[in-house]
Structure 1
Amino acid sequence: MMMMMISPCTFLCWIILTTPFTVHVVLSKTDPRQVSALNDMYQYLNPRDKLAGWKSNGGNPCDDSWKGITCSGSDVTEINLSGLGLTGSLGFQLDKLDKVTYFDVSKNNLKDNIPYQLPPHTQQLDLSGNQFTGTVPYSISQMADLKSLNLNRNKLSGSLSDIFGKLTKLTTMDLSYNSISGSLPQGLKSLSSLSKLHIQNNQFTGSIDVLADLSLDNLNVANNQFNGWIPDELKDIKHLETGGNRWSSGPAPPPPPGQKPHTRKSKKESGKSGLSKGAIAGILVGVLVVLGVIIALLSRRKRSSSNSSHFLEENKLSRRQPFTPLSSQELSSDVHAKMQEDFKDSSSATEKHLQTSSSMGLRRLNSERHKSFNKKEMANVPASDHLKAFNDKEFANPSNVKRSSSIKIPQYSLADLQNATGNFAGSSLLGEGLIGRVYKAKYPDGRVLAVKKIDSSFFQDGQRTEFTEVVNIMSKFHHANIVEVIGYCSEQGQNMLIFEYFRNGSLHEFLHVSDDFSKPLTWNTRVRIALGTARALEYLHEVCSPSYLHKNIRTSNIVLDAELNPHLCECGLAMFHERASKNLNAGYTAPECTKPSAYTLKSDVYSFGVVMLELLTGRKPFDSSKQRSEQYLVQWASPQLHDLDALERMADPALRGLYPPKSLSRFANVTALCVQSEPEFRPNMSEVARLVQRSNMSQRDDLSASRRTNDDDDDY
């Protein structure tokens, strides 16, 4: 029998022919981080048979032709899942899709909030035609490459945050057919490239003056609650729709004294205007120099022949000359505060002039500006400007707080609240916190509100005006996981805040006040509550400028809506918590906080870690009914958080073992980081939120290893 021999040449040719294929597979393997993000999306989307090729774990989207995925090399660059009839949500790892420039999931039935993190470098973002709720996410503010944003025909609500400062490339924005309310933010002025804006069929209020300087050729603001006048600069827009609003009749009033009307000019016109102004300015400077020389000569002659009384009078006048820079200390406190507010948006040239003006000149100019600074302008001051005016130390020192009487939320009368609460009867009492009691207010039309009545002891020593400042600050907080203040009352020594009423009550009640009718929180719901609360704190700590401390994070300050989503209460009341003698809550307070004023951002992280421990174990932070070694939850649980066997024993019995073991372990690891005794070893809240997201990844695989696989957890 003859053996077939393969020549070296044949063998070499075989290697050459097969090698390119092998190299191609290696090079085109999709980036693992992007695969993980798509795996996460797949777990939250239904029906999955619409997503051909997709997997819940691993895979190679770029080579395996996953439905709707387009790649460039090993990177996912486009996602188009429009019109597939998908339900569910989008998961929590979209920020890993950092090469995606086109993201379209329009015309589906996706629900829940728009994810807090979105593909960061997206240029075309289309989430329209879904059932998304909540507010427009703040993370859009960081998407500097965004050119087209379409969120129309969803169920978005709340006010529109000032998120447009970096979106200078945005050309098209459509927010129409939602329930977005409030006034248009001043940051819209930054949209220098915007040509098309559709915000019709919402609940916007106030004026549209902020749009006057934009280069729009397609504007639709119909069917809102706008008032005032349509700026003349907008009336020549090619495609303009303004019907269904509350426009004022008659001619618009002239601009305030010293303020020129808006004019929209082309770049060519602006250039010509600049040249002519420069020429005029040069001529004026020349004339002034000549006059100055003449006046100086005349003054010299007068001084040589003047008497002593004339010299004294002239010496008084010389103090008014604009040669010496004026420090802020030379202004009275009320004028200085007003100057800070009135001139915040002035040009750099104006600021320089003010810095080099005399006391008389500044006061006169300030007086003129004060006359022209009306309530309408005050209402349009950006929220970010108000936020930057306060920090935690200023809360503690009333003399540093900037006074303002402009509050955009409704003021309720004391009589109205007395009627709605049965004169604050005990039967209307919902609970009592560190700084006051909360009552249920019921109205004949079916509305139910929560009224927080702040204890009068916090307003001694003439500090009642601080309540106005607190209301002002709280009205600027807009986040899906923060309870927003919707009204206030300040009459006859009573100071109250009005909030939306959440029928499901607090997280404390769900965990610690169970009864025969309450259903225990499932594991997925607990992770969702932790994640939502983490995002609320991330907003306060890292989005607001300056950062805001909460100082009273506990389960009784986390209320749950009908879908058991968390909403953090008492944001913006840190000043009162600092003054509360009983502020140091047993079990929630970080070790470094020997007094209320010692709180830091990392102290909030510690308190949040205690909340996570409650979600994990079902135990209270301090329980005197336990044996001494188990009374303090952190001391008892911390040594066991990395022990898998101990974790199973620690897990809340109400879970009945229905949890993914890996998720439980990851959740415990995040908790352990938060409750570190040394503040510097605790992560910041953005990192905590990221880790909580990861704690529930690959839940389908983990559940298969659970002690009981018949898990009826709700969708997370």
Structure 2
Amino acid sequence: MVPHFNFSGLWIVLFVVVLTLTSTITTITLVHSKTNAPEVSALNIMYSSLNSPSKLDGWKSSGGDPCGDSWKGITCSGSSVTEIDLSDFGLSGSMGYQLSGLTSVTYFDMSKNNLKGDIPYQLPPNALHIDLSENGFTGGVPYSICLMKGLKYLNLAHNQLNGQLSDMFGQLPKLDELDLSFNTLSGNLPQSFKSLSSLSTLHLQNNQFTGSINALANLPLDDLNVANNQFTGWIPDELKEIKNIETGGNSWSSGPAPPPPPGQKSTRANRHSTKGAEKSGLNGVAIAGIVFGVLVALAIIIALISRRRTSPPSHFLDEERLSQRRPFTPLASQELSNDSRSEIHKDFRELKSTDSSSSIPVKGLQTSPSIGFKPPPSDRVKSFNNNEYVNHMNVKRSSSVHVTCYSLADLQTATGNFATGRLLGEGSIGRVYRAKYADGKVLAVKKIDSSFFQGMRGADFSESVSNISKLHHPNIAELVGYCSEQGQNMLVYEYFRNGSLHEFLHLSDDFSKPLTWNTRVRIALGTARAVEYLHEICSPSSVHKNIKSSNILLDTELNPCLSDCSLGTFHQHTSQNLGTGYNAPECTKPAAYSLKSDVYSFGVVMLELLTGRMPFDSSKPRLEQSLVRWATPQLHDIDALEKMVDPALRGLYPTKSVSRFADVIALCVQPEPEFRPPMSEVVEALVRLVQRSGMNPRGEDASASRRMDDYDY
């Protein structure tokens, strides 16, 4: 008999073997090509933000393996995404908010699509080539570009970008090609253009740039196009030697260019000064000019020495430097043009006159300034015209430090011997009491804990008083006086009847109504301006180290005033303010505070304004106790965001304004300090929010939100 074989069973066995081998091979492939998790997450968010287009084969809104599954437009090296090329795919929407997670991407091309909105503040941080041209992007050029030190190519042409260029080009030594053409960018070219030592191609045509192009004179350019702008002045001779240059459509000055200032050689002369001197030498007119210049310089030096001997020392800006500063206001109704800024400068006046009969120079204070001022970034002068605020929103100036020296007995009487009933609050470095005088004057007295002066010199307190007294800004609590007697050290401030932002948000009562959305934005912007003043106007920069809602006081119109400024000397001796929910992840000890940790703390305050929640609330479910951890993942989810908004607002807020507010928060509370924006950028973002929302700069709900008048105790 012929043996019978079961062929069907054999086929089943073979099928199982093949299936097993295929599965094993696939598993091995996945193991070796599994994409890094942060990059997968960033691409998932990007896909969703692009409205999940079907033409992006392989892409997913959650999970997936871009490298292993060969997602459309993605190039990998091992498990890292190195290139994203989605040019001319007809994409719409935006690119998402997590591009900073694409740390291995060096080539990023999203050109020739229909992308809208602002360019994300975060772009792939190590990119060498970025092309976002021919889209519909609005807003400004993101400041985070200054962090991309390896960037070689940047093309943002043919969009709808506007505003002025920030001074962001100082750390881009490898940038070879920059194209910003066909936008509506305005203002002068930033001086940091001078640092673009490798730039060979620069296209700025068809914008609204103004001023001169002298900043480009020394660049190694081979291709320059500045046509169809509003440039003025003369084209530097150095630029006329460029092979490809287009300069038409501007308002260039006619006639020969003026000579450089006395004692200063032109850029061209600097290049050839040695050869020129060897060939021509000095003629008699030049020698006479040099002699005359030396005599003038000597006269100026003698005048300065004489003035220094006869005039009191000044710790503040002189009139000329003051005229370069911009007024600070809590809200914006419209952006002023360059021509109208000069009118605003005329409005600078004293915030209040100094009464010599009741105000005396601080005893024991050093006469040399430890806090001065530096002019604000020249590339982002944004002022707002609102006559209602002219009188009390100007920056105070003074020729000397004058604060009242209060006696201990006087303050004891005014505070009822620092009675518990007069206690306003307790901070990380001491308690604050309410002092009331017979004439009705009310002040706030911060009594600094004596433990902070163990091992410290008495001069430290005097120096702190000196520093604080020099801070004059409409959104910073004004120092009225001080007391230093019998081991007691106190600071006396103006008193705010409306209390603090913390009280309004978290301790509301029958006498106060919820803050409206417009007022919350106004409080955020005013506070941001105060921090910007500390960070970017004061010289040296001042780190606050304790930004929180209880340190944001509200005046009768609910304008914010930041308190506890220039008390870093004391905060660095304590850790009591750590772990409250306001501190950045890197601040594990007081010495770790920085300008960027202040930005983080400010972002937490903005979260409070948005949600009405405290930074840390142990009464909440465990996953909701930390406000930042709970809120951050939801800030870019429209549906989740609506559920996060403070219920006290009862839905009375513009959705777009809330969304933009949340975008600013997301930038501020990032865990990595280097990715948090400077406060000037935060101010700009809030200003744009106000402008787009068309908010009324008046404090429309101030009267409705005031607390009861104070009663005697």
> Judging changes above 3 Å, is the alpha-carbon distance between structure 1 residues 57 and 67 closer, same or farther for their aligned structure 2 residues?
same
SS class of match (1:140): helix
- Alignment correspondent of 1:173: 178
Q: Distance in 2 between matches of 1:27 and 1:123?
A: 27
In the alignment, does 2:241 pair up with 1:236? yes
- Alignment correspondent of 1:322: none
Find the partner of 2:320 among 377, 386, 405: 405
Deviation at 1:535, TM superposition (A): 13
In the alignment, does 2:617 pair up with 1:617? no
Which structure's relative contact order is higher, taking Cα pairs within 8 Å and 6+ residues apart?
A: 2
- Alignment correspondent of 1:455: 351
The answer as to whether partners of 1:474 and 1:572 remain within 8 angstroms in 2 is: no
The answer as to whether partners of 2:375 and 2:537 remain within 8 angstroms in 1 is: no
> Judging changes above 3 Å, is the alpha-carbon distance between structure 1 residues 403 and 549 closer, same or farther for their aligned structure 2 residues?
farther
Find the partner of 1:653 among 643, 647, 654: 647
Find the partner of 2:79 among 74, 78, 85: 74
Paired residues for 1:529-544 under 5 Å: none
The C-alpha deviation readout for 1:68-127, integer Å capped at 9, x for no partner, is 222223221111222233232222211111111111112223223221221122121011
The answer as to whether partners of 1:233 and 1:264 remain within 8 angstroms in 2 is: no
Deviation at 1:33, TM superposition (A): 1.3
Q: Distance in 2 between matches of 1:130 and 1:104?
A: 12
- Alignment correspondent of 1:358: none
The C-alpha deviation readout for 1:400-452, integer Å capped at 9, x for no partner, is 5575835796989xxxxxxxxxxxxxxxxx98xxxxxx797999xx99x9999
> Judging changes above 3 Å, is the alpha-carbon distance between structure 1 residues 398 and 35 closer, same or farther for their aligned structure 2 residues?
farther
The answer as to whether partners of 1:550 and 1:604 remain within 8 angstroms in 2 is: no
Q: Distance in 2 between matches of 1:192 and 1:181?
A: 23
User: In the alignment, residue 615 of structure 1 is paired with which amino acid?
Assistant: L
Structure 1: gaps spanning 5 or more residues: 285-363, 374-396, 413-429, 432-437, 498-506, 559-567, 579-587, 592-598, 619-632, 658-666, 675-681, 691-716
In the alignment, does 2:62 pair up with 1:38? no
User: In the alignment, residue 653 of structure 1 is paired with which amino acid?
Assistant: P
In the alignment, does 2:645 pair up with 1:640? no
> Judging changes above 3 Å, is the alpha-carbon distance between structure 1 residues 575 and 67 closer, same or farther for their aligned structure 2 residues?
same
Q: Distance in 1 between matches of 2:221 and 2:30?
A: 48
SS class of match (1:145): coil
Deviation at 1:608, TM superposition (A): 4.4
> Judging changes above 3 Å, is the alpha-carbon distance between structure 1 residues 167 and 399 closer, same or farther for their aligned structure 2 residues?
same
User: In the alignment, residue 76 of structure 1 is paired with which amino acid?
Assistant: V
- Alignment correspondent of 1:204: 209
The answer as to whether partners of 2:333 and 2:385 remain within 8 angstroms in 1 is: no
The answer as to whether partners of 1:213 and 1:264 remain within 8 angstroms in 2 is: no
User: In the alignment, residue 647 of structure 2 is paired with which amino acid?
Assistant: P
- Alignment correspondent of 1:226: 231
- Alignment correspondent of 2:692: none
Deviation at 1:40, TM superposition (A): 1.3
> Judging changes above 3 Å, is the alpha-carbon distance between structure 1 residues 242 and 538 closer, same or farther for their aligned structure 2 residues?
same
The answer as to whether partners of 2:179 and 2:203 remain within 8 angstroms in 1 is: yes
The answer as to whether partners of 1:488 and 1:496 remain within 8 angstroms in 2 is: no
> Judging changes above 3 Å, is the alpha-carbon distance between structure 1 residues 14 and 610 closer, same or farther for their aligned structure 2 residues?
closer
Find the partner of 1:485 among 380, 383, 398: 383
Deviation at 1:202, TM superposition (A): 1.9
The answer as to whether partners of 1:184 and 1:206 remain within 8 angstroms in 2 is: yes
SS class of match (2:81): strand
> Judging changes above 3 Å, is the alpha-carbon distance between structure 1 residues 39 and 399 closer, same or farther for their aligned structure 2 residues?
farther
- Alignment correspondent of 2:193: 188
The C-alpha deviation readout for 1:333-390, integer Å capped at 9, x for no partner, is xxxxxxxxxxxxxxxxxxxxxxxxxxxxxxx99968979x9xxxxxxxxxxxxxxxxx
> Judging changes above 3 Å, is the alpha-carbon distance between structure 1 residues 148 and 11 closer, same or farther for their aligned structure 2 residues?
same
In the alignment, does 2:89 pair up with 1:84? yes
Deviation at 1:174, TM superposition (A): 0.6
> Judging changes above 3 Å, is the alpha-carbon distance between structure 1 residues 643 and 49 closer, same or farther for their aligned structure 2 residues?
same
Find the partner of 1:53 among 58, 68, 74: 58
Deviation at 1:158, TM superposition (A): 2.6
Q: Distance in 2 between matches of 1:411 and 1:614?
A: 27
- Alignment correspondent of 2:416: none
> Judging changes above 3 Å, is the alpha-carbon distance between structure 1 residues 50 and 25 closer, same or farther for their aligned structure 2 residues?
same
Q: Distance in 1 between matches of 2:58 and 2:598?
A: 46
Deviation at 1:240, TM superposition (A): 1.2
Q: Distance in 2 between matches of 1:535 and 1:43?
A: 35
The answer as to whether partners of 2:144 and 2:675 remain within 8 angstroms in 1 is: no
The C-alpha deviation readout for 1:558-604, integer Å capped at 9, x for no partner, is 9xxxxxxxxx999999789x9xxxxxxxxx9989xxxxxxx985677
Q: Distance in 2 between matches of 1:15 and 1:530?
A: 61
Q: Distance in 2 between matches of 1:687 and 1:613?
A: 22
In the alignment, does 2:139 pair up with 1:134? yes
User: In the alignment, residue 63 of structure 1 is paired with which amino acid?
Assistant: G
> Judging changes above 3 Å, is the alpha-carbon distance between structure 1 residues 651 and 495 closer, same or farther for their aligned structure 2 residues?
closer
Deviation at 1:172, TM superposition (A): 0.9
Paired residues for 1:22-33 under 5 Å: 22-33=27-38
Find the partner of 2:394 among 470, 481, 496: 496
The answer as to whether partners of 2:100 and 2:124 remain within 8 angstroms in 1 is: yes
Q: Distance in 1 between matches of 2:563 and 2:296?
A: 31
SS class of match (2:267): coil
> Judging changes above 3 Å, is the alpha-carbon distance between structure 1 residues 462 and 261 closer, same or farther for their aligned structure 2 residues?
farther
> Judging changes above 3 Å, is the alpha-carbon distance between structure 1 residues 538 and 120 closer, same or farther for their aligned structure 2 residues?
farther
User: TM-score, structure 2 length as denominator?
Assistant: 0.50
In the alignment, does 2:262 pair up with 1:257? yes
User: In the alignment, residue 473 of structure 1 is paired with which amino acid?
Assistant: P
The answer as to whether partners of 1:555 and 1:611 remain within 8 angstroms in 2 is: no
- Alignment correspondent of 1:303: none
Structure 2: gaps spanning 5 or more residues: 282-290, 301-311, 363-368, 396-500, 553-558, 570-579, 584-592, 631-642, 652-661, 679-713
User: In the alignment, residue 485 of structure 1 is paired with which amino acid?
Assistant: S
User: In the alignment, residue 157 of structure 2 is paired with which amino acid?
Assistant: N
Deviation at 1:246, TM superposition (A): 1.9
Deviation at 1:496, TM superposition (A): 3.4
Q: Distance in 1 between matches of 2:539 and 2:233?
A: 31
SS class of match (2:198): coil
The answer as to whether partners of 1:197 and 1:219 remain within 8 angstroms in 2 is: yes
Q: Distance in 1 between matches of 2:141 and 2:335?
A: 30
Deviation at 1:203, TM superposition (A): 2.3
> Judging changes above 3 Å, is the alpha-carbon distance between structure 1 residues 590 and 212 closer, same or farther for their aligned structure 2 residues?
closer
SS class of match (1:640): coil
> Judging changes above 3 Å, is the alpha-carbon distance between structure 1 residues 13 and 575 closer, same or farther for their aligned structure 2 residues?
closer
The answer as to whether partners of 1:454 and 1:496 remain within 8 angstroms in 2 is: yes
- Alignment correspondent of 1:473: 375
Q: Distance in 1 between matches of 2:256 and 2:69?
A: 64
- Alignment correspondent of 2:423: none
Matched residues, number? 471
The C-alpha deviation readout for 1:609-635, integer Å capped at 9, x for no partner, is 3442342237xxxxxxxxxxxxxx56x
Paired residues for 1:89-488 under 5 Å: 89-263=94-268, 399=314, 405=320, 455-456=351-352, 473-476=375-378, 478=380, 484-485=382-383
> Judging changes above 3 Å, is the alpha-carbon distance between structure 1 residues 143 and 604 closer, same or farther for their aligned structure 2 residues?
closer
User: In the alignment, residue 405 of structure 1 is paired with which amino acid?
Assistant: E
Deviation at 1:638, TM superposition (A): 2.3
The answer as to whether partners of 1:409 and 1:487 remain within 8 angstroms in 2 is: no
SS class of match (1:263): helix
